[in-house]
Amino acid sequence: MTTGTTAPPALEVRNVTVRFAGLVALDDVSFTVAPGTVHAVIGPNGAGKSTCFNVLSGLYRPAVGTVRLGDTELTRLAPHKIAALGVARTFQNIVTTQGTVADNLMLGRHALSRAGFAASALRLPHVVREQRAHLAKAREIAELTGLGDHFESPVALLSYGDRKRVELARALCLEPRVLLLDEPVAGMNAAERVRMTEVVREIRAELGLSLVLVEHDMGLVMRLADEVTVLDFGKAIAHGTPDEVRRDPEVLRAYLGTGTTGQEAA
């Protein structure tokens, strides 16, 4: 697969506030995902991480604040329009369909198809050529994510870790500039976590895209992230490198527990 040659634009979150029936889920949150970096959003349960991801992907609209991808404001756009602009996401819970790995990855390519319904139904020559190109791209992404040997395998027969990577690969089939990873190693065993970490590193090196990561596995966050934003009760209480964040007194108090040392937190 060809390495990306153009850096993605910055993803800027500015003063975002989200309320649900009087409950403030996000409170004046701001951070910037620099082009080509891994930016982790962490915090205890109920801190607002999932709400933040839902704002970034267009599922929620903030009461106040903006989200911009480069010069384009995403704040009021529908999810499918945000995806078309280059922001893709995975979900904490596995979301796969029946069929093979190839079938699932081709679903990810659907948004990039130029063929209309009638032309597809008639299998016109240009449609056949386009489908072959999409299939070749899906196979490249399967290879990149370690699923090449399973490309024609039914998803239902795969291990849990492999199915998590199918969802990751399907998101990559949209050819995003920014990829939102929602707890990518949740529920995995130690070997599966190591493999997923390797895959994320390979994706970043090969494609040059930006990644926003929500993850409870602090070891993975500290190994992968360039920058970390820490949320607590909907507020951003710390920003910085992994080393800076794990030594921040507010983080130790709110997230890691009072009295925990930076070394132990790692």
- For domain 11-86+176-265, the CATH superfamily is P-loop containing nucleotide triphosphate hydrolases (3.40.50.300)
pLDDT band for 231, please (50, 70, 90 cuts).
very high
Name the maximum alpha-carbon separation found in the chain. Answer: 67
What are the distances in angstroms from CA 76 to CA 12, 56, 128, 175, 211? 14, 11, 36, 22, 22
In tens, the pLDDT along 79-93 reads 999 998 999 999 877
Report domain extents, the chain: 11-86+176-265
pLDDT band for 259, please (50, 70, 90 cuts).
very low
pTM of the model: 0.85
Q: Is the per-residue pLDDT at 179 higher than 70? A: yes
pLDDT value of position 261:
39
Determine the average pLDDT of the residues in 193-201.
Answer: 93
Q: Is the per-residue pLDDT at 166 higher than 60? A: yes
pLDDT value of position 62:
96
pLDDT value of position 130:
74
More confident site: 138 or 132? 138
pLDDT band for 256, please (50, 70, 90 cuts).
low
Determine the average pLDDT of the residues in 205-212.
Answer: 95
pLDDT value of position 60:
95
Quickly list DSSP for the chain: -PPP-SPPPPEEEEEEEEEETTEEEEEEEEEEE-TT-EEEEE-STTSSHHHHHHHHTTSS--SEEEEEETTEE-TT--HHHHHHTTEEE--SS----SSBHHHHHHHHHGGG----HHHHHHT-HHHHHHHHHHHHHHHHHHHHTT-GGGTTSBGGGS-HHHHHHHHHHHHHTT--SEEEEESTTTT--HHHHHHHHHHHHHHHHHH--EEEEE-S-HHHHHHH-SEEEEEETTEEEEEE-HHHHHT-HHHIIIII-TT--HHHH-
